[in-house]
């Protein structure tokens, strides 16, 4: 009957009447495209993900096209978006759908959840958007809206919090309007009940919102953990030999897994060219004739858990290097644009002032 929960749900759907954000995947019913959009939008703002969604739809119109692509090619398309394991999981799941499911996208919540890279949120989103199945989404927007309206102070980044909010979210979901409700609550969180400076003046829940009434808006939702940022200093060796340049594929358990980079020497501070030349790669450069050497400016990139400073040191080699561990590949300079690089290398490669100067 007229519970506070019913009030919330009906008011939300009323608010949503005219679609708040006209997003390209909202009218979409193809589960493959919905899946693409949801993976791309994990921890990613709508405006940042939009172009990638269009690119993937264009380059991989069907799940078969994605499955048939090479992993490096998929990563190249993902370049610049971050969280690159999403791209690899996406590709792996596409191959699984084609080989094990006969190319038919899974149509139950349980089966959708089996896809690599699909967790509780994404499974609920696909199940509701594509098949109108009654599963409530629980993303950053939902945590924020519910914690404020209901005045819930349980930290959202704990097991207890996740359980509590999941139960509440599912209770609020109108089973026959799962898709519309899920989109409504996320749009509401993104356009009205924002993290900072929410638009409470135009909020239809104002008079019933616990956080507004108790002036707790800036204080909810509560997170328990704080992040620590580590500083790192990368020295990239751009080793030119004739028309070729050396590249290395990152495989260690670290950032940018499976992306390419120049041979890297990491230290606890930025070093000068001579020091790097002497120390880097365990004397690998020894005995090699170097005709030119110079360095770029220091590029900086701040990530969630680390702050990276990178400097590119340029060498023209007359002799090929001895690659003891078979870690590096030689490629033609003009093919650099075919490889997926971390942002910081992309910056360097596209820095016009340096680029024109060097080639």
Q: Which residues bind DNA (CB under 7 A)?
A: 21, 23, 25-26, 37-38, 41-48, 80-85, 89, 116-123, 125, 137, 139-141, 143-144, 158-160, 182-183, 186-187, 189-190, 195-197, 223-227, 229, 253-257, 301-306, 342-344
Q: Is 38 a known active-site residue?
A: yes
Nearest distance from residue 185's CB to DNA, in Å? 8
DSSP states of 287-324: T--EEEEEEEEEEEEE-SSEEEEEEEEEEEESS----T
Catalytic residue among 14, 28, 38, 47: 38
Closer to DNA at the Cβ: 261 or 314?
Answer: 261
Nearest distance from residue 223's CB to DNA, in Å? 5
Q: How far is CA 288 from CA 35, 248, 284, in A?
A: 51, 19, 8
Closer to DNA at the Cβ: 24 or 242?
Answer: 24
Nearest distance from residue 354's CB to DNA, in Å? 18
Structure-block tokens of residue 256: 């940018």
Q: Is 205 helix (H, G, I), strand (E, B) or coil?
A: coil
Closer to DNA at the Cβ: 229 or 332?
Answer: 229
Report DSSP state, residue 161: H
Closer to DNA at the Cβ: 252 or 334?
Answer: 252
Structure-block tokens of residue 241: 């030999």
Cβ neighbourhood burial of 84 (10 Å; 0-12, 13-18, 19+) = buried
d(CA 138, CA 219) in angstroms, rounded, equals 20
Closer to DNA at the Cβ: 11 or 306?
Answer: 306
Q: Are strands 230-241 and 306-317 parallel, antiparallel or unpaired?
A: parallel
Nearest distance from residue 175's CB to DNA, in Å? 18
Nearest distance from residue 74's CB to DNA, in Å? 14
Structure-block tokens of residue 162: 């996740």
Structure-block tokens of residue 151: 């005045």
* Catalytic annotation, residues: 38
């Amino acid at each position: 009957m007229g519970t506070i929960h019913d009030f919330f749900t009906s008011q939300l759907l009323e608010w949503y009447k005219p679609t708040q954000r006209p997003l390209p995947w909202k009218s979409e019913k193809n589960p493959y495209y919905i899946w693409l959009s949801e993976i791309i939008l994990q921890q990613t703002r709508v405006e940042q993900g939009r172009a990638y969604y269009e690119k993937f739809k264009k380059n991989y119109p069907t799940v078969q096209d994605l499955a048939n692509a090479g992993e490096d090619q998929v990563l190249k398309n993902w370049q610049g978006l971050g969280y690159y394991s999403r791209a690899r999981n996406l590709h792996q799941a596409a191959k699984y759908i084609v080989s094990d499911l006969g190319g038919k996208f899974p149509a139950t919540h349980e089966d959708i959840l089996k896809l690599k890279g699909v967790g509780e949120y994404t499974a609920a989103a696909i199940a509701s958007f594509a098949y109108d199945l009654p599963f409530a989404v629980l993303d950053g927007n939902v945590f924020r809206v519910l914690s404020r309206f209901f005045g819930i102070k349980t930290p959202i980044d704990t097991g207890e919090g996740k359980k509590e909010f999941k139960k509440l979210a599912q209770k609020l979901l109108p089973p026959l309007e799962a898709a519309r409700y899920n989109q409504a609550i996320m749009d509401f969180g993104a356009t009205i009940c924002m993290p900072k400076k929410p638009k409470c003046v135009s909020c239809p829940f104002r008079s019933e919102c616990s956080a507004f009434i108790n002036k707790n808006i800036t204080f909810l939702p509560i997170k328990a953990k704080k992040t620590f940022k580590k500083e790192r200093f990368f020295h990239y060796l751009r080793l030119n030999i004739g028309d070729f340049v050396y590249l290395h594929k990152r495989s260690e358990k670290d950032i940018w897994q499976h992306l390419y980079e120049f041979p890297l020497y990491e230290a606890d501070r930025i070093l000068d060219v001579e020091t790097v030349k002497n120390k880097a790669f365990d004397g690998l450069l020894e005995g090699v004739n170097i005709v030119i050497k110079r360095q770029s400016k220091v590029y900086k990139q701040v990530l969630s858990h680390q702050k990276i400073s990178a400097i590119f040191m340029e060498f023209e080699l007359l002799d090929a290097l001895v690659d003891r561990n078979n870690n590096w590949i030689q490629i033609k300079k003009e093919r650099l644009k075919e490889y997926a690089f971390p942002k910081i290398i992309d910056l360097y490669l596209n820095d016009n002032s340096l680029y024109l100067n060097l080639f």
